C-alpha cells in the first residue's frame, strides 16, 4: 500500500498547491467568485462535469449498480439529462444576466421582492450539499488509512476549505480540472475494464445474475420519475451549478461546454452501474451496496492503480464539496449578509478598495461556512436523508419561481414568494408526516408551488414594466468572448 499512499499524498499536496496558485489570480470579486467569467470550453466542461459528479455519483452510483444492475445508472443519468437541459435551453440566458447568485436573478426578474427568502432556501440547500459531500471523506479515508470517522472528516474538510478559501473559484476550477482527469482515468479507463474482466466478461455477468439486473427499469419506474424530479430539475436551479455557468466566457461556451459535460455524465452513469454489476458477481454478499466501490478497488486492482482509483473517488467528493462550499458562502455573503449590511449602512461603495474588501470578505465567509460544514458533518450520520432534505427544499421551493421567471412574463414577485412559501411548507410538512425519503413531499410540493405561483401571479398586479424592460435587455445582450490574451 505504500505506493498507493504516496499517490494519495501527492494528490492532496497538489490540491493545496493549486489553491495557493489560484490565490494569486483571484484579485477581484468576479475573479474570486466566478473565475472572471472567462473560462473556455475545455476548462468549463471539465469543471462542470467535476461539480455534478461527486461522491454520490461515484460511490453511490456503483452501489446502485450493485443493488439493481444496469438500471442503477438512472440516478446519475438523470443528473446528466438535467445538465443537458440546462446547457441547451437555459445556460446562454443565465450567463447573460451577469449576476452571482440565483437570488440575484430572482431580484432582477421580479423587482427585488423574492431574493431574501429564496436566498435562505438556497443557502440551506448548498449547506447540506456541502455537509453530505464532507461526510463522504470518512468512507474514503477509512479505506485508505483506517482513520477514525471524525479525523477523516476533519482532514478532508480542512484541505477543501484551505484551497477554496485561498483562491475561490480559480482554485476550485484548477483543482476540478485535475479531479476531472483523475476521475476519467481512474474510473472510466482503469476500474471499468478491470472490473468487467475480473468478473469474467459481459457473458459471465449475464449468466451469473438475474434478468432484472439488465432490465432498463429494474430499479422501478416510480424511482426513475422521482430521480427526474429531484436531480434533473435540481440541475436546472442549483446555485452550485449556476455559479459554474457564470464562469463561461460566452454564450457559446456555456451551451457547448455544458452539453459536453452532460454527455460525459451519461457515460459516467453507465460505467458506475456496470462496475457495480461486476462487483455483485465478484462479492455477492457485501453488507452494504455502498461498500461495493471500496471493496472492488481494494481487492481487484494492482498496487499503484488502486491508489489512482481511490484518488479518483477522493477527487469526486472534493469537487462537489468545494463547489457546494463556495456556493453556500456566496449565497450567505451576497444574498443574506450583504442585504443586512446594506440595510444598516444605507449605501454600497464601488471603489477599488471596496472590491478588495469584498474578496477578503468572501474569503472570511468561506472559512466560516467551511468550519460550520465540518462541524455539522461530524454530528450527522445519515447522508441520504440529509441530501434528500436539501433537494426536496430546493426543487419544491424554488423550481417553479425560477423557471416561471425565465419562461412566463406574467409571473410576479408576489407569485414567486407564494410559490416558495407554499412549496417549501408543503415539502417540510409531508417530510415530517410521510418520512424524509417518501416520494410524496416532492410530488405535492411541486404541485402546490405551481398552483400558488400561477394563482397569485394572476391575482396580483403585473411586474413593473421598467423591471421587465431591464430583464429583457439583459437577456438580449449576448455574452462577448474574452480577448484572446485573457482566455483560459
pLDDT at 115: 64
User: At how many degrees (to 10) do helices 413-434 and 440-459 cross?
Assistant: 160
Share of the chain above pLDDT 70, in %: 92
Question: Can you list the alpha helix ranges (DSSP code H) found in 26-148?
Answer: 29-34, 41-52, 55, 61-68, 74-85, 91-96, 102-110, 115-145
Model confidence pLDDT, tens digit, residues 225-264: 989 988 899 899 889 899 999 999 998 999 999 999 999 9
Cβ-contact 117, 420 below 8 angstroms: yes
Q: Could you tell me where the beta strands, DSSP code E, fall in 224-297?
A: none
In whole angstroms, what is the distance from residue 305 CA to residue 144 CA? 13
Report pTM: 0.86
Q: Tell me the residue length of the chain.
A: 488
List all residues 6 or more positions away from 128 whose beta carbon is below 8 Å from its beta carbon. Answer: 386, 387, 389, 390
Lowest mean pLDDT among 107-111, 143-147, 480-484: 480-484
pLDDT at 478: 72
Assign 349 a pLDDT band (cuts: 50, 70, 90): very low
Among 232, 181, 199, 185, CA closest to 65: 199
Q: How many CB atoms lie within 10 A of CB 197?
A: 12
207 vs 301, more confident:
207
Model confidence pLDDT, tens digit, residues 286-342: 888 888 888 888 888 888 788 888 887 787 788 888 888 999 999 998 888 877 766
Q: Which three cell numbers stand for residue 158?
A: 480542512
Eight-state DSSP code of residue 200: T
Cell 472510466, located at residue: 188
Is residue 227 classed as helix, strand or coil in its secondary structure? helix
* DSSP element (H, E) containing 284: none
In whole angstroms, what is the distance from residue 315 CA to residue 176 CA? 8
Amino acid at each position: 500500500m505504500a505506493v498507493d499512499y504516496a499517490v494519495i499524498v501527492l494528490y492532496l499536496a497538489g490540491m493545496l498547491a493549486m489553491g495557493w496558485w489560484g490565490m494569486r489570480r483571484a484579485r477581484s470579486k468576479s475573479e474570486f467568485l466566478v473565475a472572471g467569467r472567462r473560462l473556455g470550453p475545455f476548462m468549463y466542461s471539465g469543471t462542470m462535469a467535476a461539480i455534478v459528479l461527486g461522491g454520490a455519483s461515484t460511490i453511490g452510483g456503483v452501489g446502485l449498480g450493485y443493488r439493481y444492475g444496469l438500471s442503477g445508472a438512472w440516478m446519475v443519468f438523470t443528473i446528466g439529462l438535467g445538465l443537458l437541459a440546462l446547457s441547451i435551453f437555459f445556460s446562454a440566458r443565465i450567463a447573460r444576466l451577469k449576476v452571482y447568485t440565483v437570488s440575484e436573478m430572482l431580484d432582477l426578474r421580479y423587482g427585488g421582492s423574492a431574493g431574501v427568502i429564496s436566498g435562505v432556501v438556497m443557502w440551506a440547500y448548498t449547506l447540506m450539499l456541502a455537509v453530505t459531500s464532507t461526510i463522504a471523506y470518512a468512507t474514503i479515508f477509512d479505506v485508505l488509512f483506517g482513520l477514525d470517522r471524525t479525523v477523516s472528516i476533519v482532514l478532508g474538510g480542512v484541505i477543501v476549505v484551505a484551497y477554496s478559501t485561498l483562491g475561490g473559484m480559480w482554485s476550485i476550477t484548477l483543482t476540478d480540472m485535475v479531479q476531472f482527469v483523475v476521475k476519467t482515468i481512474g474510473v472510466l479507463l482503469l476500474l471499468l475494464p478491470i472490473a468487467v474482466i475480473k468478473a469474467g466478461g459481459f457473458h459471465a455477468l449475464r449468466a451469473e445474475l438475474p434478468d432484472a439486473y439488465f432490465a432498463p427499469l429494474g430499479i422501478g419506474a416510480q424511482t426513475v420519475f422521482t430521480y427526474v424530479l429531484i436531480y434533473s430539475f435540481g440541475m436546472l436551479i442549483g446555485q452550485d451549478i449556476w455559479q459554474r455557468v457564470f464562469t463561461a466566457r460566452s454564450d457559446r461556451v456555456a451551451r457547448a461546454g455544458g452539453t459536453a459535460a452532460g454527455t460525459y455524465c451519461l457515460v459516467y452513469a453507465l460505467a458506475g452501474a456496470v462496475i457495480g454489476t461486476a462487483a455483485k458477481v465478484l462479492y455477492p454478499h457485501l453488507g452494504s451496496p455502498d461498500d461495493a466501490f471500496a471493496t472492488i478497488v481494494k481487492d481487484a486492482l494492482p498496487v499503484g492503480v488502486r491508489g489512482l482509483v481511490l484518488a479518483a473517488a477522493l477527487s469526486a467528493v472534493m469537487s462537489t464539496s468545494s463547489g457546494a462550499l463556495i456556493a453556500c458562502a456566496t449565497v450567505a455573503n451576497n444574498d443574506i449578509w450583504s442585504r443586512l449590511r446594506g440595510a444598516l449602512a444605507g449605501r454600497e461603495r464601488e471603489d477599488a478598495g471596496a472590491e478588495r474588501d469584498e474578496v477578503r470578505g468572501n474569503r472570511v465567509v468561506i472559512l466560516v461556512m467551511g468550519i460550520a460544514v465540518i462541524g455539522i458533518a461530524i454530528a450527522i450520520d445519515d447522508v441520504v436523508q440529509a441530501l434528500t432534505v436539501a433537494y426536496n427544499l430546493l426543487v419544491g421551493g424554488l423550481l417553479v419561481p425560477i423557471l416561471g421567471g425565465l419562461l412566463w412574463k406574467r409571473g410576479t414577485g408576489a407569485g414567486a414568494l407564494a410559490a416558495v412559501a407554499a412549496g417549501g411548507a408543503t415539502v417540510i410538512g409531508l417530510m415530517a408526516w410521510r418520512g424524509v425519503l417518501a416520494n410524496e413531499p416532492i410530488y405535492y410540493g411541486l404541485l402546490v408551488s405551481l398552483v400558488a405561483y400561477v394563482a397569485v401571479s394572476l391575482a396580483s398586479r403585473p411586474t413593473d414594466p421598467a423591471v421587465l424592460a431591464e430583464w429583457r435587455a439583459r437577456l438580449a445582450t449576448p455574452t462577448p468572448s474574452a480577448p484572446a490574451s485573457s482566455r483560459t
